[in-house]
Structure 1
Amino acid sequence: MDSLYNATDFNATNGTNVSANSSDDFNQFIQPVWQITLWAVAYCSIVAVSVVGNMIVIWIILAHKRMRTVTNYFLVNLAFAEAAMSAFNTVINFAYAVHNEWYFGLVYCRFHNFFPIAAIFASIYSMAAIALDRYMAIIHPLQQRLSSTETRVVIGVIWMLALLLTFPQYYYSSTTVLPGRTVCYIDWPEYTTVDFKKIYYVCVTLLIYFLPLGVMGWAYTAVGITLWASQIPGDSSEHYKEQLIAKRKVVKMMIVVVCTFALCWLPYHIYFLLHQFFPELFEQRYIQQVYLTIMWMAMSSTMYNPIIYYCLNIRFRAGFQQVFCCCAPTAAKEELELKSPRYLQTQVSLYRASRMETVVSTAVHPAEKKSAELPSCDSHGRPHAEVMSNGSGSETFTRGPSNPSH
């Protein structure tokens, strides 16, 4: 994530040859205090919502066994990447963009230049893995699914590829002191026959944006045709209908997640490529505001997913309510969604047994039914305690007329 404010061109052949008036060139980007304050609030809000929301998502999945599915393991990886990028790069990016000076040393300069691209790579390929998993589960349901161990291996491979892709950003990162300020930049080597910098950034844009989005678009199109083109048969079992509706909801939620990510990052990638091929466009006074706006949109993508999960998934909603409003009226009802399947089956069995008992009790002889409805008292007029027929040990009392002698 090469910053806009990397000063003038640096290269390996002429070293750090910078004009003495370079500091004056950046005076046009100085903003009034009120403007900086508004931007600071906007960027800090991203960090707060993203870190808190994504950490809760990770807790909901890892703390509840029923949530530990292949799809949700990739959601954990997605949440981790977004929370980390938000925590370690959002505010630093903003401070560097506003003040045009690097305060954080060479080590963090290298981390700052390579980690955001690695996190974006991990995020979008986690979403691509979810899309392919949904495709296999729905289009090829008889094929063997990924196990939890295989899912962890895939996540590890994603991060290894991300680090390999971003290694040049780390290797060529450097800091230098200009008149009045220090800058963090990428000191790309200069070749006579090929522009390595432009080729690298074009490849990065293709690999972390257009290629995975194309794969996800193809996968979700096929899945959508399968799930929505066919109608649910009228004589289908309730279990089949519930499964189909649940699959549709998961796919719908992931499509919203992918579209949100794509819309947030599209302006940044366009800006990024234009900056490589038409650098003269970025010498205007207004360009800093454009950059801050585009960067805010890109960074804000890290905070939307927890909100989407809360709105579109009942289990995640129950998990968030357990954290923020455990006394909410709906939390107790939705909390069942976080219980284990064995618990839910037990509740269904008890419900069916209760319904069966009700049906049997209404089929008794009318005389017996009438007798059962009359008050039953002992010789002293006290009500009897009757054990219910299901052996639950519950007691039902019928109050008879009181004995005046007591």
Structure 2
Amino acid sequence: MEPSATPGPQMGVPTEGREQSPEPPDYEDEFLRYLWRDYLYPKQYEWVLIAAYVAVFFVALVGNTLVCLAVWRNHHMRTVTNYFIVNLSLADVLVTAICLPASLLVDITESWLFGHALCKVIPYLQAVSVSVAVLTLSFIALDRWYAICHPLLFKSTARRARGSILGIWAVSLAVMVPQAAVMECTSVLPELANRTRLFSVCDERWADDLYPKIYHSCFFIVTYLAPLGLMAMAYFQIFRKLWGRQIPGTTSALVRNWKRPSVQLEDQGQGLGAEPQPRARAFLAE
């Protein structure tokens, strides 16, 4: 009798109760976990940096907000200088609320995590706030120069101060448009671009190498060199004006203070025969 043929398990045919082979590990996920654990997670010194950023954030936000509220609620504080100081505070609030958190995350993770749209918006607002702060300081110096060196030439009013502030913001918003146009978000690891935003970089992309040199040179002149020269000349002339002239009221106050001792010396001279009068009168003559 021929043995009955019993079909045994064949290669490649799954059978019941047979264990499936484990799936191959996802090397991309393993790589991302490695990056987070050993590279992106904050180190000890980075926690110190985080604490410093948080302290600066709250101090700057609360302090500048209180300055704005103080001028807004007290009408007697709405002077020309205080209007410009409020404008400085608004620029600082803009940097603190929008740019500071993004800068902290970029410093810690070394990646841009906010996408393409914010890659254009945040650097643009940061450049605008810098321009507003610098131009405001320049207008403060110019206002003080007019008030001290040429008090009758230009009358500074709160209305003109508000107009100057609007002009500062308009110029800053217009001049910094190229900053938003050239910012692009790219990934250092293109194969992981669809999986994660880690190692994405927000940086300038120019069509020609000559353009960034021209732009950054103009940026340096407009936001640093020209305002620095203007403020240096204004405050130097203010210093010369105040240093070279006697403060009004000083001579009359000095004479009033020395009248009483001189009268006493005359009375004493008449009684004792002393002669302190010429010295006192000589001092008054000087």
TM-score for both structures, normalised by structure 2: 0.68
Q: What is residue 244 of structure 2 aligned with on the other side?
A: 229
Q: Note if 1:184 corresponds to 2:202.
A: yes
**Runs of 5+ in structure 2 lacking a partner?**
1-37, 193-197, 255-286
Contact 2:42 2:108 in 1 (8 A): no
Q: What is residue 25 of structure 2 aligned with on the other side?
A: none
CA spacing shift, 1:163–1:225, aligned 2, 3 Å: same
**Larger CA Rg, structure 1 vs 2:** 2
Q: Note if 1:156 corresponds to 2:178.
A: no
CA spacing shift, 1:31–1:234, aligned 2, 3 Å: farther
From 208, 213, 230, give the equivalent of 1:215: 230
Q: CA deviation at 1:45?
A: 1.3
Opposite residue 41 of structure 1, the aligned amino acid is A
Opposite residue 201 of structure 2, the aligned amino acid is V
Q: CA deviation at 1:159?
A: 1.0
Q: What is residue 133 of structure 1 aligned with on the other side?
A: 143
| Superposition RMSD in Å | 2.1
Q: CA deviation at 1:98?
A: 2.3
Q: CA deviation at 1:67?
A: 1.0
Q: CA deviation at 1:89?
A: 0.6
Instruction: Give SS of 2:203's match.
Output: strand
Pairwise mapping of residues 91-106 of structure 1 onto structure 2 (< 5 A)?
91-106=101-116
Instruction: Give SS of 2:207's match.
Output: coil
Q: What is residue 184 of structure 2 aligned with on the other side?
A: 174
CA spacing shift, 1:231–1:150, aligned 2, 3 Å: closer
**Runs of 5+ in structure 1 lacking a partner?**
1-27, 238-406
Instruction: Give SS of 2:252's match.
Output: coil
TM-score for both structures, normalised by structure 1: 0.48
Identity %, equivalent residues: 29
Q: What is residue 11 of structure 2 aligned with on the other side?
A: none
Q: CA deviation at 1:61?
A: 1.5
Contact 2:99 2:122 in 1 (8 A): yes
Q: What is residue 83 of structure 2 aligned with on the other side?
A: 73
Deviations 1:28-62 (A, max 9, x none): 98686211101111111111111111111111222
* Moved segments of 4+, more than 4 Å: 28-32
CA spacing shift, 1:36–1:176, aligned 2, 3 Å: same
Contact 2:184 2:205 in 1 (8 A): yes
Instruction: Give SS of 1:183's match.
Output: strand
Q: CA deviation at 1:91?
A: 2.0
Q: What is residue 47 of structure 1 aligned with on the other side?
A: 57
Distance 1:142 1:71 in 2: 18
Distance 2:149 2:183 in 1: 45
Opposite residue 46 of structure 2, the aligned amino acid is I
Instruction: Give SS of 1:184's match.
Output: strand
- Bigger relative contact order (CA 8 A; separation at least 6): 1
CA spacing shift, 1:236–1:111, aligned 2, 3 Å: farther
Distance 1:64 1:236 in 2: 34
